């Protein structure tokens, strides 16, 4: 397991930490609003199985009921950028609506993932 990136963003006076690990042919993505990462919602995403066809990413909520929409959006975006299976552990404790987090978090995550892909090439 190789650490690819560790970064954070401040959204409305709350800090969100993002850590990405490279596993064998897959990735582990940890997102938390705490320095101590927790398990929280666990979502697995996998890329389309037939290369070249425009099919959607499959995502599965393994457990956790909080932030289900947010975790699905994050894992599907990560899979589309990284082109590999992604296991997401999303641990958000702040009392904030998902709608307030989605836009700034996704913009930040897109930047991080695209930079990571460039560095890996």
Q: Report pLDDT digits (tens) over 35-78.
A: 888 888 888 888 877 666 554 566 666 555 566 788 888 998 99
Cα atoms in the Cβ-side hemisphere of radius 13 Å centred on 20: 23
The answer to which of 50-54, 82-86, 104-108, 109-113 has the lowest mean pLDDT is 50-54
Pick the CATH number of 2-120 from 3.90.1150.10, 3.40.50.720, 3.10.180.10, 3.30.230.90: 3.30.230.90
Q: What is the CA radius of gyration of the chain?
A: 14
pLDDT digits (tens, 9 = 90+) for 13-45: 889 999 999 999 999 999 998 888 888 888 888
Give the per-residue pLDDT at 40: 83
First to last CA, the chain: 18
If phi over 0 gives left and psi between -120 and 50 gives alpha, with beta otherwise, what is residue 114?
alpha
CA distance 94 to 81: 27
Residues in the chain: 121
């Amino acid at each position: 397991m190789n650490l690819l990136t560790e970064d954070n963003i401040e959204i409305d006076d709350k800090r969100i930490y993002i850590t990405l690990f490279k596993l064998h042919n897959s990735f582990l993505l940890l997102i938390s609003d705490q320095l101590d990462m927790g398990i929280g919602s666990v979502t697995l995403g996998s890329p389309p199985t037939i290369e070249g066809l425009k099919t959607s990413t499959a995502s599965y909520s393994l457990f956790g009921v909080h932030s289900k929409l947010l975790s699905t959006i994050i894992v599907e975006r990560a899979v589309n950028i990284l082109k590999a299976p992604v296991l997401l552990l999303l641990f958000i404790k702040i009392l904030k609506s998902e709608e307030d987090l989605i836009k700034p978090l996704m913009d930040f995550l897109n930047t991080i993932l695209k930079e990571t892909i460039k560095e890996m090439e």
